[in-house]
Chain A
């Protein structure tokens, strides 16, 4: 454990849970665009480090929420875990083995649910074809117990709550409601019997009335099929509802991670605190709301990445505690992957509440 990380006093150190996906030192960057002429002259665009040193474990059968503002790198992390982006550095291991060339087999085990259910369904395909697509890609014509393709599709649709499944076969995505479309996306993932589902903002495009249903469905899959779920969300209220553990990201780094009740009831990072202050259920609205510009990943500040917006620095509290210099100039090391409640903050190191 690095010096900057502070273990929570009542850390749940069971040590029994097995990590199914391990992310180590993940770095993903995007190159800014430059003009044709500038490109020929060898000029490079500003490099944005969307993910800049993330260590993360996803344990078997758990729901882990990856939370943060838009642009903090949470979706980029999820896409890198899915192998949809090539990381500049770091490693992703599935069941202890690095991904490397086993990507195709890996994609049977790890499925993704997207933010926009309408866009993620091909408008020219029927529901049957959409759900069967995974089977066809992996050339699976029979289930493990000799089921036909049709039986596998029917089972996936029922598991996703679309019953009776036969009625949906010939429908097109535009004939379904938003919630039903997200269920189709989930059925398309379930048909391959995955062990992990990565859900990127799974309910943010849905009506409030069906959000609960889709979340309940995800929880049910975890209970009944022991699927591990990584939920990417900007909404800590959602994390509170579904997650066992929460990881809060800021500007490409995880700044606080731990069991959901701990992190959300007793946040130790001023940023987590600020995010919670805007969730109505989690407490008062009167507390200071986060000020300042949203961060620009092409210009990562010195010292603690959060210091330009940190209320403790702004109010002079950090100065009184004698850590302001460190907050402004000394960079924090990335948090290691662990089950404990960890925080990357000089304030928390002193045992101070944010």
Chain B
């Protein structure tokens, strides 16, 4: 091994050698990363279909107050004829109060998506905190949190949800809370497993040798490397949350004042739509639920393929 004066190493791509601030460098890097991921995502047909369907529903939900007069959804102010089949006036017919199904569905999208997203945020927060704490600290904390997680995992969620929902009372916020409480365990498990592998990587030890504390290690190294796995899972969790809300509503535990798709189905059931043959009251909300759930699932799988390094290689 001969000792020579170390030659100067040159990097291949030469961006302009201007002096930039650290912040500008960070942002330039983030923009690049997002652009690179988008390029890969765009090539995924399934993901693009899912995204297109989602964007339509999100646009409808956001624009609902502009498209529909909210007062017409109050049974007392409804002017339509009840139980009307689809016609030129009411494209998808009317319900027992004579409200237009189209109006109901557009507003239902608002409620269903709201519940889906907020319940997911709650699920992710609880799941990530529990999962990272268990995986990172290990030992007794891990044993305790893991037992807790497993308990929630094996408990039949629907029973717990029914008990909680009837205890807390049927408000929209409580429904969101119940869904978050009953569905975080799977996320916690996933996050814990990923944390365990990331924790052992040499760059974590390098950061520790540099003097990093737990907070720095968790926020700068563990979280960014666990996040992609969480993110794909998050999108799938939204679909599950929407389904959970529908289930609870159909069981009559939903908030009767906020007309979600599930509440529409529940009303149609309780009014005997099935026996009377009012198919337009039952099928459209069902189709909406299926479409949105499917769209989220398609996006979730597409993201999983991009963000999960093990799948990317295939």
Contact = CB atoms under 8 A, between A and B. Distances in A.
Given A119-B201, A180-B9, A241 B25 contact: no
B211 A170 contact: no
A114 B202 contact: yes
A164 B17 contact: yes
B45 interface: no
A150 B4 contact: no
Contacts of A95: none
Contacts of B59: none
Interface in A93-124: 103-104, 107-108, 111-112, 114, 116, 119-122, 124
A57 interface: no
A84 B208 CA distance: 8
B15 A170 contact: yes
Most interface-central of B5, B13, B203, B212 (chain A CB within 10 A)? B203
A48 interface: no
Most interface-central of A116, A126, A211 (chain B CB within 10 A)? A126
Interface in A16-46: none
B1 interface: yes
Given A166-B17, A171-B11, A188-B210, A216 B3 contact: yes
Given A129-B26, A137-B216, A241-B1, A213 B6 contact: yes
Interface in B206-225: 206-213, 216, 220-221, 224-225
Contacts of A114: 202, 205-206
B29 interface: yes
Contacts of B257: none
B87 interface: no
Contacts of A143: none
Contacts, number: 125
B201 A128 contact: no
Interface residues of A, number: 55
A212 B3 contact: yes
A138 B19 CA distance: 23
Contacts of B3: 212, 215-216, 219, 241
B24 to A, nearest CB: 10
Contacts of B139: none
B17 to A, nearest CB: 4
Contacts of B28: 170
A23 to B, nearest CB: 17
A75 to B, nearest CB: 12
Given A111-B209, A137-B207, A170-B32, A215 B1 contact: yes
A132 B22 contact: yes
B203 A112 contact: no
Given A119-B202, A215-B1, A84 B15 contact: no
Contacts of B275: none
Contact of B210 (A116, A133, A183, A215): A133
A179 B11 CA distance: 12
Contact of A120 (B4, B11, B25, B206): B206
A163 interface: yes
A216 B6 CA distance: 6
A162 B11 CA distance: 8
Interface residues of B, number: 43
A137 B212 CA distance: 6
B205 A120 contact: yes
A185 interface: yes
A119 B22 contact: no
Contacts of A213: 4, 6-7
Contacts of B39: none
B210 A107 contact: yes
Contacts of B224: 122, 124
Interface in B224-249: 224-225
A47 interface: no
B158 to A, nearest CB: 32
B29 A170 contact: yes
A185 B206 contact: yes
Interface in B181-211: 201-203, 205-211
Nearest to B221: A122
Interface in A129-144: 129, 132-134, 137-138
A122 B8 contact: no
Interface string A79-95: 00010100000000000
Contacts of B19: 150, 166
B298 to A, nearest CB: 26
Contact of B14 (A121, A163, A167, A175): A167
A159 to B, nearest CB: 10
Contacts of A171: 11, 13
A114 B220 CA distance: 20
B74 to A, nearest CB: 51
A177 B10 CA distance: 11
B211 to A, nearest CB: 4
Contacts of B32: 170
Contacts of A104: 211
Given A120-B203, A162-B9, A216 B4 contact: yes
Nearest to B204: A122
Contact of B8 (A103, A128, A161): A161
A161 B9 contact: yes
B18 A166 contact: yes
Contacts of B202: 114, 116, 119-120
Interface in A162-196: 162-164, 166-171, 175-177, 179-180, 183, 185, 188, 192
A150 B20 contact: yes
Q: Which 10 A-B pairs have the closest CB atoms?
A: A107-B211, A119-B202, A120-B202, A112-B209, A122-B203, A166-B17, A167-B11, A120-B206, A134-B210, A161-B6
Interface of B: 1-15, 17-22, 25-26, 28-29, 32, 201-203, 205-213, 216, 220-221, 224-225
7 contacts: A129-B25, A137-B216, A138-B211, A164-B17, A179-B9, A216-B4, A241-B1
